[in-house]
Amino acid sequence: MISSVRAVTVGWENDDDCAQSARGQDRVGDDVGMTPSRRVGPGAVALLLSSAFAAVAVLVELRGAGGDTRALMELHDLVGHTAHEALVAIDTLTDLLSLTIVAAVTLLGLLLASRRRDAVFFVVSVAGVWLFNPVIKDLFQRPRPDLWPSPMPASEFSFPSGHAANTAALVVAIVLALPAGRWRMRASIVGVAAMIVVAFSQLALGVHYPSDILAGWLWAGAWVACVWGGTQPRVALLTQAGRSR
């Protein structure tokens, strides 16, 4: 998800960069006999991810937790009880308080760099997911797995996963707020690794179904992509092949 959202942000930085990139692509196309590449905008990404979230939600409502339960049981048998302390520690380190500290440091950096547009994007993206995810949980009211005693207290409902959605929103927002280049690539790698670790801990602890995790990622990605499209400058995000010059 991170790589797909990051990939479509090429040329989104500002109008001048976009125009230069388009002219460069035209020249390359002229030299090698190729047409300019197509790009999709954040609206298309948001639509794709939200449609996938809707599909997962429908499957959960229609089919229940059969496949999810089998996956949790197999993972539980594989991990056992020996790693519970480490998994609980991961859960604690990635709760909303810890994520808020990371978000505050990121926002401060954006403000100190006078990147107000990116700061607005970051706040709306992250805060929106963190505020609305409990509302979505109340709408679906999917009970948490009850396969074995939970080693820690948890809220009543599980769909979509708050840990997954909150972490994904923060990671994607940070990646998009960074300038394109080496730092954005490094943040993407670290962020994806963090999302995987968080997802594994939630599944191994038995507090979420796999579909909860997937739904959290999808809807958070859709929200951030939508906010990105609404806060960035209006630029041409679709280059038509063989357009007239």
Convert the pLDDT of each residue in 73-89 to its tens digit. 877 777 766 677 778 88
The tokens describing 101, both together, are 């500290």
Q: Which residue has the higher pLDDT, 65 or 47?
A: 47
Mean pLDDT over the full length of the chain: 78
Structural contact between residues 172 and 221, judged by C-beta atoms closer than 8 angstroms = yes
pLDDT value of residue 134: 93
Between the alpha carbon of residue 47 and those of residues 20, 41, 62, 140, 233, the distances in Å are 28, 10, 22, 21, 19
Average pLDDT over residues 167-172: 96
Is the pLDDT at 69 greater than 90? The verdict is: no
pLDDT value of residue 55: 94
Is residue 234 helix, strand or coil?
Answer: coil
The pTM of this model reads 0.75
- CA angle at residue 117 from 113 to 120, to 5 degrees? 105
Burial class (CB in 10 A: 0-12, 13-18, 19+), 242: exposed
pLDDT value of residue 7: 44
Percent of the residues in the chain that have a pLDDT greater than 90, as a whole number: 44
- Beta strand spans in the chain (E): none
The tokens describing 188, both together, are 């993407």
Is the pLDDT at 27 greater than 70? The verdict is: no
Query: Residue 1 — very low, low, confident or very high, per pLDDT cuts 50/70/90?
Result: low
Locate the domains of the chain by residue range. Answer: 43-231
Element (H, E) at 171: helix 162-177
Q: Please write the tens of the pLDDT for every residue from 149-169.
A: 776 777 788 899 999 999 999
pLDDT value of residue 38: 57
Percent of the residues in the chain that have a pLDDT greater than 70, as a whole number: 75
pLDDT value of residue 158: 87
Torsion 92-96-97-102 (CA) sign: positive
Q: Which residue has the higher pLDDT, 34 or 121?
A: 121
